[in-house]
Amino acid sequence: MAAVTTSTERSLNKLAIVGVLIITMIFLAPIYWIASTAFKPRNLATTIPPTVMFQPEISPFVKLFTKRSQLRTAPTPEQYAAAPWWERLVFDGGEKVVRSGRGEVQWSGYPSRFMNSLIVAITSTILAVGMGTFTAYGFSRFKIKGEQDLLFFILSTRMLPPVVVAIPMFLMYRVVGLNDTHWGLIILYTAFNLSFSVWLMKGFMDEIPKEYEEAALVDGYTRMEAFFKIVLPEAATGIAATAVFCFITAWNEYAFALIMTNRRAQTAPPFIPSQVGSGLSDWTVIAAGTFLFLLPVAIFTFLLRNHLLRGMSFGAIRK
């Protein structure tokens, strides 16, 4: 190819490089803006022209985790000196940390929502990937009558609009007391991710040569032993990739969480927006909450980069 590269071809390529760089910058700008706003002092978050250069602070994160109230009178120098460094940051912003009668710092709603997100996402991922791996093996290795129809049925459950499923689930949960509980959300997310996990894992299972297990069966393994000792280790990468996808889906989900939870089991996606518009919104705190929430997904995206195509196409396109 190199020999036939003409000079127009080369300049076109240069143009493409410039284009890609500009587009990448535009696409990353909103994410950059979230990250930078999370480290800004409050008065620089909403300036015109926008503040790009600033001394980064961690006060938004302190405020994110603590319950605060407006300072009516400035703290006395003794109070200020006695306060730990992070509390001084809150004083500097014209607020004070709310303490209980015994002087314990009160947490904001964020840490518990973040924990709820972790509990629900991790548990539902384990369940969906666990069941999905077995089922995918079944579909991959055994003859099943009406296999295509069953697979279509499994996929179609993934396509249901959340609000459509949420109406009857809400009514049923109300009867059995699962509204606003971790298990209520875990069940919904497991069901939602299960079909995805079956489809993706089936692709990975299909790629493991049958001969591996057949050799093991000849060697005196039972089918179960062959599955656990031969197939599962071979499928480890696929299982990990599927798990990360399921985790991200559950972590990001909004509609079910909005409808099914309101306090005890509320996850971060419905909680973070509910903080906007309550009085004067402090965008640095919202950015800090958003930043912490997006961070795991951003890291996972890099770990998953070679499996993204496969995951996003339900295992249909493998490259």
Please list every residue from 50 through 69 that binds another protein, using CB under 8 A.
Answer: 50
**Secondary structure element (H or E) that encloses residue 68, with its range:** strand 68-70
- CA separation for the pair 29, 178 (Å, rounded): 40
Q: How far is the CB of 168 from another protein (least distance, A)?
A: 4
Instruction: Tell whether residue 279 is a contact of another protein (CB under 8 A).
Output: no
With contact defined as beta carbons under 8 Å apart, do 114 and 292 qualify? yes
Instruction: Tell whether residue 316 is a contact of another protein (CB under 8 A).
Output: yes
SS3 state at 20: helix
Nearer to another protein, 32 or 107 (CB): 32
| Neighbour-count burial for 48-68, b at 16+ CB within 10 Å, e otherwise | eeeeeeeeebebbbbbbbbeb
Nearer to another protein, 84 or 146 (CB): 146
**Residues whose CB falls within 8 Å of the CB of residue 124, separated by 6 or more in sequence, listed in order:** 185, 186, 187, 189, 190, 193, 246, 250
Instruction: Tell whether residue 74 is a contact of another protein (CB under 8 A).
Output: no
Instruction: Tell whether residue 236 is a contact of another protein (CB under 8 A).
Output: no
Q: Report the residue from 58, 71, 74, 167 that binds another protein according to the rule CB under 8 A.
A: 167
Nearer to another protein, 74 or 215 (CB): 215
- Binding string, residues 79-118; x marks residues near another protein by CB under 8 A: ----------------------------------------
Nearer to another protein, 58 or 172 (CB): 172
Instruction: Tell whether residue 238 is a contact of another protein (CB under 8 A).
Output: no
Nearer to another protein, 72 or 319 (CB): 319
DSSP H helices in the chain: 7-37, 59-65, 77-82, 85-92, 110-141, 147-159, 162-176, 182-207, 210-218, 223-226, 232-234, 236-252, 255-260, 268-274, 283-304, 308-312
With contact defined as beta carbons under 8 Å apart, do 160 and 229 qualify? no
Instruction: Tell whether residue 3 is a contact of another protein (CB under 8 A).
Output: no
Q: How far is the CB of 163 from another protein (least distance, A)?
A: 5
The 10 Å Cβ neighbour count of residue 43 is 10
Q: How far is the CB of 64 from another protein (least distance, A)?
A: 14
Instruction: Tell whether residue 28 is a contact of another protein (CB under 8 A).
Output: yes
Q: Which of residues 172-231 bind another protein (CB under 8 A)?
A: 172, 174, 187-188, 190-191, 194-195, 198, 217, 220-227
